[in-house]
Amino acid sequence: MSARSTDATLGGPDGSRPEPGDVDARQVAWNEVRAQLPEGWRTGRGRLDPSTRRWLVVALSRRPNEPLTRATYLLGEGADEVSALQDLAQRLATLK
């Protein structure tokens, strides 16, 4: 496997390296996710699902007083990493 198909830090819909302008859009999208993230939640890295060729980004919460409970999560999905992050930010906004 090549690094292009497995490196989840890259932003193109095909796993390719983002163009310089895309880096700014990606950073803006991550900032929006962080702004919407409720206290006690964290995010996972974005990844390209090879079966659907869609990007996925997850936000997770675990109840701190109940360590054996299942995590609550929200999943953002999109054609590229930026659109997956924007989807996740919109979903997180509904929690507030």
pLDDT digits (tens, 9 = 90+) for 30-89: 999 999 999 889 999 999 999 999 999 999 987 666 665 667 889 999 999 999 999 999
Predicted pLDDT at 61:
87
Q: What is the dihedral of CA 78, 32, 75, 48, to 10 degrees?
A: 40
Higher pLDDT, 12 or 80: 80
| Cβ–Cβ under 8 Å, residues 88 and 59 | yes
Contacts of 28 by beta carbon, 8 Å cutoff, 6+ apart = none
Predicted pLDDT at 3:
35
Q: Which helix (H) or strand (E) holds 49?
A: strand 47-49
| Cβ–Cβ under 8 Å, residues 90 and 33 | no
pTM of the complete model: 0.72
Distance of CA 6 to the CA centre of its chain: 15
Domains of the chain: 3-93 (3.30.160)
